[in-house]
Chain A
Amino acid sequence: MEKQVDSAREPDVSGAMSRDEVASVITALEPDQLIAAKDRHHFPRRRLTRTETVLFWGLRIYLMFMVGVVMYQIWTGAR
């Protein structure tokens, strides 16, 4: 059978296994637990709603601002 191996991922070792062994590995795992399945299936990108985008940016600005506050506290503490 043809094998497809993604060079960035782990090497296929099924060639060194018996059909039984391969079957037992596949039986023990859920289909989407196999590394090969994970490599091939990716969840599609979701579209953010306006509210979600505002929340993302809001919390990002909150974080940046608060990191600035921490820096200010360190600076005043060091003086």
Chain B
Amino acid sequence: MKEQETAPEPQSGIASRAVLGDPAAGDLAALGSAVVITHEDIDRAHDREQVSATRARRGFRPRLRLFWLLIGPGILVMLGENDGPSMLSYAATGARFGVGFFLPFVVLTFLMACVVQEMTVRLGAATHRGHAELIFERFGPFWGWFSMVDLMVGNFLTLVTEFIAIRAGLGFFGVRPAVAVCSALLVLSVALMTHRYWTWERIILGAAIFNLAFVPVALLTHPNWGAVGRALVTWSPLPGGVTQETVLILLANIGATVTPWMLFFQQSAIADKGLTIRDIRMGRVDTALGAALATVAALATMLATAPLFLRHMTAANFEAAEFAQALQPMIGHWGAALFALGMFEAGMVAAITISTSSAYAFGEVARRPHSLNLPFREGKSFYLVLLVEAVAAAGLVLIPGIPLVYIVLVVNVIAVLAMPPALLFLYMLVNDREIMGELVSPTWANALALAVVTILVGAGLLFGVSVIAPNALAMLGGR
């Protein structure tokens, strides 16, 4: 370390003692006599200094600023999950089932997402480690690789659907597929060029807010608010009862809110942002706010397409952005254009967050540098994984004859099926006193987590029955 004779003595703190070689320096003593500082540390320290300075001040404005400094991962993960296939699921649900059972059901799924993501907030803040890193360290490579394969396969398939959404959204405006996909890759690359987590996060947050573009579209359709209120309270009607299609939509809507990449992304983002135990409360607010915004956008999408009820619009109509086209006579060109832009935004933001979650996980497992604070030369593998995955998914979308519709349909279903094993890792980590200390989940949180797992496994099994024994499902539905 560079010694300076005139350097004033640091005021206080474990870290300061470490610099001076104080044996009471706690964990820093484990670093030996050297203190290695990296570029990533400097950027993260800069962000933390702002948080500490703001926290030390009293009053409303400092509190508001603290909120501004600490929000991000929760909103990003929730609005990021309102992605291409998710918005397609909501649109198809609104068009197929109208205003009814699925409105409160979607609210329930976001509550489930809140329960799950809150655990990643605590885990990330307590350990400062990413999810993949913790799984590999605590459970070993055997189970770790299972979890990584689930994540990588799911992420890649989802990423393909994001580029389908981008292509479909811009296709409404007559943009050619190749141009749409290449433009999206350019936007993704530009966001990465900031080489700064904070700047990247603010850019993506700004873009993610456009997820609410579906709200004015819903308002343009003049929803029957009385029916909306009744549906939210009574969970009805469910036209057609429990059928194979209902179960598929049910699963798709669960998969639209609770997926494995969200666990990996939010925990890694919290570690990258540098949140600590003191920030957990704000992390929860961030997550709840994200869930609330995402719920509003999801419900708005269902309400927007509800006028298409019984026109049998399905995922097959997605490729040509036909939802926007079908809505045009009712909400006009600008309304339809807003819907198409919403689809583009959903795909764009999710493409960025999902590829980032893959890159984080890869870096954590391969023990390579993994941070959005890294300059390119120091984080080559991180940025390359992110870009290569995005380019491969984008390229796949442009291959003529690829069954994109099947991929769109299957992605959310696979996300739901892969969730219980992912949640078991999360559940065990967040109850692991050796890494969480006093922050292990309380009993009520565990009960909620187990309820989520039960619902997910139940929905998966119901889907299995609907495919293997559709007659049994008909009996279950009373038909």
Residue from the list A17, A20, A45, A69 in contact with B137, Cβ < 8 A: A45
Residues of A within 8 A of B48 (CB): 28-29
Residues of B within 8 A of A33 (CB): 41, 44, 128, 274, 276
Residues of A within 8 A of B420 (CB): 59, 62-63
Chain B residues numbered 352-367 whose CB sits less than 8 Å from any CB in chain A? 367
B128 adjacent to A32 (CB under 8 Å)? yes
**Given A19-B3, A24-B49, A35-B36, A70 and B414 contact (CB-CB distance below 8 Å):** yes
Residue from the list A10, A14, A39, A69 in contact with B2, Cβ < 8 A: A14
B10 adjacent to A27 (CB under 8 Å)? yes
B27 adjacent to A15 (CB under 8 Å)? no
A19 adjacent to B15 (CB under 8 Å)? no
B37 adjacent to A22 (CB under 8 Å)? yes
B1 adjacent to A27 (CB under 8 Å)? no
Query: Quick check: is B208 within 8 A (CB to CB) of the other chain?
Result: no
A38–B19 Cα gap in the complex (Å)? 18
**Given A14-B2, A42-B137, A26 and B468 contact (CB-CB distance below 8 Å):** no
A62 adjacent to B457 (CB under 8 Å)? yes
Q: How large is the interface on A (under 10, 10 to 19, 20 to 34, 35 or more residues)?
A: 35 or more
A11–B36 Cα gap in the complex (Å)? 9
Most B CB atoms within 10 A — which of A9, A31, A56? A31
B1 adjacent to A3 (CB under 8 Å)? yes
A74 adjacent to B406 (CB under 8 Å)? yes
A31–B49 Cα gap in the complex (Å)? 15
Q: How large is the interface on B (under 10, 10 to 19, 20 to 34, 35 or more residues)?
A: 35 or more
B42 adjacent to A25 (CB under 8 Å)? yes
B35 adjacent to A30 (CB under 8 Å)? no
A24–B8 Cα gap in the complex (Å)? 12
Q: Which residue of A lies closest to B403 (CB)?
A: A78
Residue from the list A23, A45, A60 in contact with B140, Cβ < 8 A: A45
Query: Quick check: is B118 within 8 A (CB to CB) of the other chain?
Result: no
Q: Which residue of A lies closest to B21 (CB)?
A: A1
A27 adjacent to B16 (CB under 8 Å)? yes
A43–B134 Cα gap in the complex (Å)? 8
Residues of B within 8 A of A2 (CB): 32-34
- The contact string, 1 if C-beta is below 8 Å from chain A, for chain B 10-47, is 10011110110000001110111111111111101110
Chain A residues numbered 30-75 whose CB sits less than 8 Å from any CB in chain B? 30-46, 48, 52, 55-56, 59-60, 62-63, 65-67, 69-70, 72-74
Residue from the list A10, A16, A63 in contact with B418, Cβ < 8 A: A63
A50 CB to nearest B CB, Å: 14
A29–B8 Cα gap in the complex (Å)? 20
Residues of B within 8 A of A43 (CB): 127, 129, 134, 137-138, 434-435
A32 adjacent to B27 (CB under 8 Å)? yes
Chain B residues numbered 404-425 whose CB sits less than 8 Å from any CB in chain A? 406, 410, 413-414, 417-418, 420-421, 424
| 25 cross-chain CB contacts under 8 A | A3-B36, A4-B36, A10-B39, A10-B40, A12-B37, A19-B3, A19-B4, A22-B19, A25-B15, A25-B41, A26-B16, A27-B10, A27-B15, A28-B49, A29-B15, A32-B128, A34-B36, A35-B38, A36-B37, A36-B38, A38-B129, A42-B137, A45-B137, A45-B138, A55-B424
Residues of B within 8 A of A (CB): 1-4, 7-8, 10, 13-16, 18-19, 26-28, 30-42, 44-46, 48-49, 52, 127-129, 134, 137-140, 143, 146, 150, 274, 276, 367-369, 374, 378-379, 403, 406, 410, 413-414, 417-418, 420-421, 424, 428, 432, 434-435, 457, 460, 463-464, 467-468
